[in-house]
Amino acid sequence: MRHMSRVLATTALVAAVTLGGPFAEAKTLVVGVADNLTTLDPANANDTLSGGAARVVLQGLYGFDSNMQLEPLLATSYEANADATEFTFHLRKGVKFHDGTDFNAEAVKINIDRVRDPKVPTKRQSLVSMVDHVEVIDPLTVKVVLKEPFGAMVNNLAHAGLFMISPAAIAKYGKDIDRNPVGTGPFIFKKWSGDLFEAVKNPNYWREGYPKVDGVTFKSVPENGSRIAMLQAGEASFVYPLPSELAPVVTANKNLEVVKVPSIIIRYVAMNTMKKPFDDVRVREALNYAVDKNAFCKVVYGGYCKPAEGPVPDLLKYSTAVQKGGWPYDPKKAKALLAEAGYPNGFETEMFSKNNSTYIRAMQFLQQQFAQVGVKLTVTPLEAGVEAQRIWSVAEPKDATVQTQYGGWSASTGDIDWALRPLFYGKGFPPKLFNVAYYKSEKTDTGIEAGIATADDAKRTSEYAAVQKQIWSDAPWIFLTDDQILVGQAKGLSGAFAAPDGGLNFEKAAFK
């Protein structure tokens, strides 16, 4: 092994000298992840991890930095008209796909049209379903024209689903493009089979001086202990996710560190506002008072989260902290409110959630908290298929059996619209979207509609501030916490990160 690394170092040295590059030891970055990738065509991926692997090879017009802010990648700038129906993008000059073809406006058009093509449905079609047509103005300018105003268009185009793939490769591989990604990214796809995904350095990458590592390899290691062992043994330099209970193991090793990333994942309990007793806002407020969010954080997430200060996570643009420090914990007030609503002795109710140990622990904690104010909770974890049947496929609101649901949401477009519309919009009840609270408020609905109808920052800010305040006071949820994401990594590694949505990014990864 020692011999191997010496050979590698020598090779790297020779390479560095001949290329006249920086005098550093480059090597391949090995990333340990929990699951297998599902596809390398991000337009057909619904898991963040596959998007992360795609991001090694492909990139979009815009991307997200480590704070979930938009960062120009293949576009350098854009303009939007006032009512958010036309977006003009100026593209980066001289960028080539890995197969040597040019990246240009035509390529953008082909890619957007591919994702929205109704004949060959992609899973991420909804990201661009509002697009009417795409106009090529000149090789470096492209205009996206929408059917209806949509202020978050740039965010949608920054989503992994709209990564730019070489049109020549799309033509060549057809459906098999999902195993042969050809993009403009910092690394060139080499191989994906079973547990391993490998990509090697793109020597012609457009960003000066990057990439700084020779390649990126993803290894899927489902067992948490084994994944951390890889990091400890030096087989991997970056592991994600790092379960909170194993964070101390990583901290104890002087060569390793735990990186905490505030996430855009919010944890909540949705209460079915159409059903008794949750049709009474006082009951919903009472349950908000009944839960100690800091204790919830400690018990369920090992302390790696913080109380939610509004209905959407802090890090999303236009998010406002409606109540600093989160909804206060006050069981006395909770009891008083319940009595006022006609439930002095509490009531019995049921909670649904996904069936995994963290979710069950969360529900058991809530069960204990509810019991303090006299509410008897039955905890019902649902296996994914049953969950789909009992919650997501229910056609009529009156047939919904859900009373409360514990869940989490990550707005993967990084825009507030995708944190509000799916969950609080009066026209977004299941099975259409995910409003399990069956929450409907005139003010919220018009606010959500107005917010997306413009690309104007000031207008969106004020609309969304009002919406968040309204939701907070209507309390269709028990607002619990914003998650933190944990990454374990070697101290010698820099520039690699998990974005707040869990999207992995290795463009600027470097070993010290």
The residue ranges that bind another protein (CB under 8 A) are 1, 35-36, 38-39, 44, 46-47, 121-123, 125-126, 129, 175, 178-179, 193-195, 219-223, 225-226, 229-230, 232-235, 383-389, 392-393, 412, 422, 431-433
Nearer to another protein, 36 or 81 (CB): 36
Nearer to another protein, 229 or 465 (CB): 229
For residue 32, give the amino acid letter.
Answer: G
CB of 226 to another protein, least distance (A): 6
CB of 449 to another protein, least distance (A): 17
Burial bucket for residue 249 (CB in 10 Å: 0-12, 13-18, 19+): middle
From the centroid of its chain, how far is CA 72? 19
For residue 110, give the amino acid letter.
Answer: I
CB of 356 to another protein, least distance (A): 10
Structure tokens at 395: 């056609």
> What is the spatial distance between Cα 190 and Cα 181, in angstroms, rounded to a whole number?
9
Strand partners, 378: 350
Nearer to another protein, 181 or 211 (CB): 181
Nearer to another protein, 79 or 235 (CB): 235
CB of 450 to another protein, least distance (A): 21
Going through 299-360 in order, the beta strands assigned E by DSSP cover 305-307, 348-354
> What is the spatial distance between Cα 219 and Cα 255, in angstroms, rounded to a whole number?
21
Other beta carbons less than 10 A from residue 438's beta carbon: 22
Nearer to another protein, 219 or 508 (CB): 219
From the centroid of its chain, how far is CA 297? 20
CB of 9 to another protein, least distance (A): 18
Cis peptide before 307 (omega within 30 of 0): no
Nearer to another protein, 243 or 495 (CB): 243
- The angle subtended at Cα 439 by Cα 435 and Cα 443, nearest 5°, is 120
> What is the spatial distance between Cα 251 and Cα 25, in angstroms, rounded to a whole number?
26
3-state DSSP assignment of residue 481? strand
Cis peptide before 243 (omega within 30 of 0): no
> What is the spatial distance between Cα 460 and Cα 151, in angstroms, rounded to a whole number?
8
Q: Look at the alpha carbons of 356, 361, 366, 371 in this order and tell me if their dihedral is positive or negative.
A: positive
CB of 231 to another protein, least distance (A): 9
> What is the spatial distance between Cα 396 and Cα 139, in angstroms, rounded to a whole number?
49
Nearer to another protein, 288 or 353 (CB): 353
Q: Look at the alpha carbons of 179, 180, 181, 187 in this order and tell me if their dihedral is positive or negative.
A: positive
CB of 179 to another protein, least distance (A): 7
CB of 136 to another protein, least distance (A): 27
Instruction: Please say whether the beta carbons of 14 and 499 come within 8 A.
Output: no
CB of 328 to another protein, least distance (A): 31
User: Between the CA of residue 334 and those of 142, 282, 283, 338, 468, what are the distances in Å?
Assistant: 55, 9, 8, 6, 22
> What is the spatial distance between Cα 15 and Cα 35, in angstroms, rounded to a whole number?
34
- 115's enclosing H/E stretch is helix 105-116
Nearer to another protein, 159 or 293 (CB): 159
Helix axes 281-290, 331-340, angle to 10 degrees: 160
Nearer to another protein, 198 or 474 (CB): 198
CB of 332 to another protein, least distance (A): 37
CB of 176 to another protein, least distance (A): 9
3-state DSSP assignment of residue 471? helix
CB of 411 to another protein, least distance (A): 9
Say which residues have a Cβ less than 8 Å from residue 84's Cβ, sequence separation at least 6: 146, 149, 150, 151, 153, 452, 453, 454, 455, 456
Structure tokens at 298: 């400690």
CB of 306 to another protein, least distance (A): 23
Nearer to another protein, 417 or 474 (CB): 417
